[in-house]
Chains A and B, each alone.
Chain A
Amino acid sequence: MTVDLAVKKPNWFSRLANPGQFLAWSKAWILPLSILTALLFAAGLYLALFDSPPDYQMGETVRIMYIHVPNAWLSQFVYAVMAAASIGTLVWRHPLADVAAKSAAPLGAVFTGLALFSGSLWGRPTWGTFWEWDGRMTSTLILFLIYLGIIALWRAFEDQGRAGRVIAVFTLVGALDIPVVKWSVDWWNTLHQPASISLMGSEHMPPSMLIPLLVMTLAFTALFVTLHIVRIRTEIFRRRAETLERQAAASLG
């Protein structure tokens, strides 16, 4: 029996676990991603604001949708990213997973806040109210509160390694709210209209509105990916600076 002693080159995912490797790998991505985001936003905003028809019922206010739906989608998507990162922390102890989870939380809170805000602005002219305790609004608000709780928890811990593991548990417990948000419009048939986009045949929306919406959703998602990578890099640099400070303090004393 022969034992293969040659060290196998780790795959790219494992190599990313090394913060230095990640910094080198991600540096090349920031500029292309930023340009892609800017182009998508330029195209999406033109399509949404000038090149799409007003709704036959809602008129021009339908254009709020092109901001509202992407933010609402990201409020759930970012939480899913955080939950996946938490599994990475707990199962594989991936060193970058807790950094990714930490950097995603404020982004998710902002997108959720924007979804609530734009939805409230949209609700005033169409439903005649800024706020109603309807299933989807309530569950999105709860999601927003969970995001804020997680941010508060990150700020409360001094030891970030321990914080990452403990918060991962809480993030996964909080993930129970995501399916509630997702299916709330089907469970409680109250004020909020059901999903306009579905994978199985989207007959609810003409292509003249669907295409701008999809471009805007892609633009916001690209914005999230870009900001997330930048924030992960910032967090790695911050931790390195902290280590250097500690080393400097130790060598002085």
Chain B
Amino acid sequence: MTGFLALIGRDLKLATRVGSDALTLVLFFVMVGVIVPFAIGPDSATLSRLAPGIIWIAAFLSMLLGLDRLFRADDEDGSLLLFRHAGLPLEMIVVAKVIAHWLLTALPLIVASPVLAILLAMDFPAWEKTVVSLLLGTPGLVALGTIGAAVTVSLKRGGLIAPVLIMPLSIPILIFGTGAIAEASPEGLSKAALLFLAAISLVTLVLAPFAAALALRLAED
């Protein structure tokens, strides 16, 4: 367990030092939201209707862009090789990576979401629902992302491939994520969507580390 926590601490420490791009991702997230009103016009009624979807797309894109950071640096400096022979199973190391990556990429987005909510003319209950659905959905996105990152880790120019692979697989998260906050859906239906979202996240959190660890092992030998 100490190794597990140390690994999370190491990733957080590395991300706060020079050369990290955690803040850039937040900037990207906010900018996607800023660009939309220019593209579809600043009519606040339209914007507030589209806002939950826009926030989800912005979060989706910035999470996918951040995927490459998951294992790339560890592969380049050789830590990945050490992880494979560590006392901690590789699956648990992937789980530690998921937690650290979620804290570094998803949590800042959720913290920054009020800014987008104001810019996109969202009202408070809609923003509240969006935050809940993001909190439930993003862990699943990160867990799925580890598979994409693990599959492409041995590619020198794998930056774009991982998002392309993971995007079709994560569409269910997007469907239930936005289904939970859609204004038109009745109360019971949005609750069911939230429960489904939580279920998808939990299942992928449990199963994805095994697939990712398998891919990491196979990529090296």
Chain A residues in the interface with B (C-beta under 8 A) = 90, 138, 142, 145-146, 148-150, 152-153, 156-157, 162, 165-170, 172-174, 176-177
A156 and B161 alpha carbons, distance in the complex (Å): 8
Q: Is the CB of A166 within 8 A of B161?
A: no
Q: Give chain B residues whose Cβ lies under 8 Å from the Cβ of A173.
A: 147, 169, 211
Known: A153-B161, A173-B147. Contact between A162 and B167, CB under 8 A?
Answer: no
Q: Give chain A residues whose Cβ lies under 8 Å from the Cβ of B164.
A: 148-149, 152
Q: Is the interface of A mostly helix, strand, loop or mixed?
A: helix
A177 and B144 alpha carbons, distance in the complex (Å): 14
B158 within 8 A of A: yes
B40 within 8 A of A: no
Q: Which residue of A lies closest to B167 (CB)?
A: A145
Which of A156, A166, A170 has most B Cβ within 10 Å? A166
Contact of A169 (CB < 8 Å), options: B167, B171, B211:
B211
Q: Give chain B residues whose Cβ lies under 8 Å from the Cβ of A165.
A: 218-219
Taking A167-B151, A169-B211 as given, write out 12 further A-B residue pairs in contact, using a Cβ cutoff of 8 Å, ordered by the A residue number.
A90-B214, A142-B168, A142-B171, A145-B167, A148-B164, A149-B165, A152-B161, A153-B152, A156-B155, A165-B219, A169-B147, A173-B169
Smallest CB-CB A-B distances: 8 pairs = A165-B218, A145-B168, A149-B165, A169-B215, A142-B168, A170-B151, A146-B168, A166-B219
Q: Give chain A residues whose Cβ lies under 8 Å from the Cβ of B165.
A: 149-150, 152-153, 170
B154 within 8 A of A: yes
A49 and B185 alpha carbons, distance in the complex (Å): 45
Q: Is the CB of A166 within 8 A of B151?
A: yes
A240 and B147 alpha carbons, distance in the complex (Å): 31
Q: Give chain B residues whose Cβ lies under 8 Å from the Cβ of A145.
A: 167-168
Q: Is the CB of B151 within 8 A of A153?
A: yes
Q: Give chain B residues whose Cβ lies under 8 Å from the Cβ of A177.
A: 168-169
Chain B residues in the interface with A (C-beta under 8 A) = 147, 151-152, 154-155, 157-158, 161, 164-165, 167-169, 171, 211, 214-215, 218-219
A238 and B164 alpha carbons, distance in the complex (Å): 27
A105 and B214 alpha carbons, distance in the complex (Å): 22
A150 and B22 alpha carbons, distance in the complex (Å): 29
Minimum Cβ distance to chain B for residue A185 (Å): 17
Q: Which residue of B lies closest to A146 (CB)?
A: B168
A170 and B216 alpha carbons, distance in the complex (Å): 12
Q: Which residue of A lies closest to B163 (CB)?
A: A149
Known: A152-B161, A156-B157, A162-B219. Contact between A169 and B168, CB under 8 A?
Answer: no
Q: Give chain A residues whose Cβ lies under 8 Å from the Cβ of B161.
A: 149, 152-153, 156
A152 and B161 alpha carbons, distance in the complex (Å): 7
Q: Give chain B residues whose Cβ lies under 8 Å from the Cβ of A150.
A: 165
Q: Give chain B residues whose Cβ lies under 8 Å from the Cβ of A168.
A: 218
Q: Is the CB of A166 within 8 A of B168?
A: no
Minimum Cβ distance to chain A for residue B172 (Å): 8
Which of A90, A145, A172 has most B Cβ within 10 Å? A145
Task: Provide a sorted-by-A list of 22 A–B residue pairs whose CB atoms are within 8 angstroms.
Answer: A90-B218, A142-B168, A142-B171, A146-B168, A146-B169, A149-B165, A152-B164, A153-B152, A156-B155, A156-B157, A157-B155, A165-B218, A166-B215, A166-B218, A166-B219, A169-B211, A169-B214, A169-B215, A170-B165, A174-B168, A174-B169, A177-B169
Minimum Cβ distance to chain B for residue A113 (Å): 15
Q: Which residue of A lies closest to B154 (CB)?
A: A162
A142 and B169 alpha carbons, distance in the complex (Å): 8
A32 and B164 alpha carbons, distance in the complex (Å): 40
A168 and B211 alpha carbons, distance in the complex (Å): 10
Minimum Cβ distance to chain A for residue B208 (Å): 8
A156 and B214 alpha carbons, distance in the complex (Å): 19
Q: Give chain A residues whose Cβ lies under 8 Å from the Cβ of B215.
A: 166, 169-170
Minimum Cβ distance to chain B for residue A97 (Å): 13
Q: Which residue of B lies closest to A144 (CB)?
A: B168
Minimum Cβ distance to chain B for residue A183 (Å): 14
A169 and B213 alpha carbons, distance in the complex (Å): 10
Q: Give chain B residues whose Cβ lies under 8 Å from the Cβ of A157.
A: 154-155
A170 and B152 alpha carbons, distance in the complex (Å): 10
A42 and B207 alpha carbons, distance in the complex (Å): 47
Minimum Cβ distance to chain A for residue B76 (Å): 17
A90 and B214 alpha carbons, distance in the complex (Å): 10
Q: Give chain A residues whose Cβ lies under 8 Å from the Cβ of B151.
A: 153, 166-167, 169-170
